[in-house]
Amino acid sequence: MPPSDPFRPWSVAMSDALYSEDGFFLRHRPAQHFRTSVTASPLFAGAVRRLAGLVDASLGHPDPFDVVDVGAGGGELLSALPDVPARWRLTGVELGPDPGGAGLRWLGSVPPLEGLLLANEWLDDVPLDVLFDERVVQVQADGTERLGGPASAEAVQWSKRWWPQGRRVEVGLTRDRAWAAAVAQVRRGLAVAVDYGHVLGDRTTYGDRRPTLTGYRDGRQVRPAPDGSCDLTAHVALDSCAAAVGGHLVRQREALAALGVHASAPPPSLSVADPRAYLTQVQAASQAAELLERRGLGGFGWLLRAVGTAYPPGLGPRAGT
Ligand SMILES: C[S@@+](CC[C@H](N)C(=O)[O-])C[C@H]1O[C@@H](n2cnc3c(N)ncnc32)[C@H](O)[C@@H]1O
């Protein structure tokens, strides 16, 4: 039965539209609607495999060694990991259906783990509230908004700390908490969330002139209507999420470079000596360029938090991050 008042806070409307029984992600695989680093190139899975290998070694090769992918979609990342040792336990955490068949453990919540926790483009899909002048913005299924009552004290407090310049604020508290709860499941190892987002300096510059809450359907950006017909997403307040777990932020172009992803073209002489190898290397270089592009995927944030072990080389905290 529809609720008598069709207007609800964005967090409630988004949660229903995406994750209720007939919600968008229960009926659609993410890969049908948008490209992520995972679906853009197998080089990403190769880099995650190298990262997992480094974490495995730093933990002394435990049995099992966990690789847990939160917001695993159709299990594309886990299925694409090359050369997985038998000792590794691969787990997809998803609200959407188990794709089956790939030998993956499939769970609805993050289990305790020793190993690598990964979440690619999960946090931007965690429902959030929107405020305007410290009042809750409400929305109905077609995307029409109205102003509701005063925001909670904690939402106002978050806004003052993390989005002080805006009248319209996308409150990152739910993402901070979701990430903190996931990281709390890591007994020993490394947690990595990869997502698009902003930091305080960006928010201070653009204030409320650039709200990021939007919709995606069939590869196209659409008006955000919480009616179950599209993905609903908003940029992640990366610095706030990092602070929530005592972690730090590295940009994807730096993280992938540290893991051996480079966009160098092969020497022209190879096109004569070995045309097939030349073409393969050209293709890899162009895929790497997409993953590393500063204004695209390369500008995504990697939120890193090591638990009971060292950060892999090139991925540790540095001054100013
Ligand atoms: C944008 S898709 C990313 C898919 C995949 N990681 C990739 O990079 O291609 C986000 C996924 O997160 C899932 N998700 C959202 N909240 C979740 C939660 N609390 N637990 C598990 N999965 C969740 C959604 O169902 C959706 O499949």
Ligand 1 mean position, distance from CA 16 (Å): 15
Q: Whose CA is nearest to atom 23 of ligand 1?
A: 71
Atom number of ligand 1 nearest to Cα 96: 25
Answer whether 92's CB lies under 8 Å from 43's CB: no
CA distances from 46 to 17, 161, 248 (A): 34, 38, 23
Per-residue pLDDT at 320: 42
Contact residues for 301 (Cβ-Cβ < 8 A; gap 6+): 194, 195, 196, 197, 236, 238, 249, 250, 251, 252
- Measured at the CA of 7, the angle between CA 5 and CA 10, to 5 degrees, comes to 145
Q: Whose CA is nearest to atom 12 of ligand 1?
A: 71
CA dihedral 162, 138, 94, 284 (to 10 degrees): -60
Q: Whose CA is nearest to atom 21 of ligand 1?
A: 94
Ligand 1 mean position, distance from CA 34 (Å): 12
Residue with tokens 């480094």: 54
Per-residue pLDDT at 321: 52
Per-residue pLDDT at 211: 80
Answer whether 167's CB lies under 8 Å from 133's CB: yes
CA distances from 92 to 27, 76, 256 (A): 17, 10, 22
Give pLDDT < 70 ranges for the chain: 1-3, 207-209, 319-321
Return the SS3 of 182: helix
CA separation for the pair 321, 311 (Å, rounded): 14
Per-residue pLDDT at 208: 62
Per-residue pLDDT at 2: 54
Answer whether 124's CB lies under 8 Å from 213's CB: no
Reference 284, options 301, 294, 270; nearest CA is 270
Q: What is the domain class of 8-262+293-307 according to CATH?
A: alpha beta
Query: What pTM, to 2 d.p., does this model score?
Result: 0.95
- Binding-site residues, ligand 1, Cβ < 6 A: 25, 30, 36, 38-39, 70-73, 76, 93-96, 120-122, 125-126
Answer whether 49's CB lies under 8 Å from 166's CB: no
Per-residue pLDDT at 30: 86
Answer whether 150's CB lies under 8 Å from 134's CB: yes
Domain positions in the chain: 8-262+293-307
| 282-311 confidence digits (pLDDT tens) | 999 999 999 999 999 999 999 999 999 999
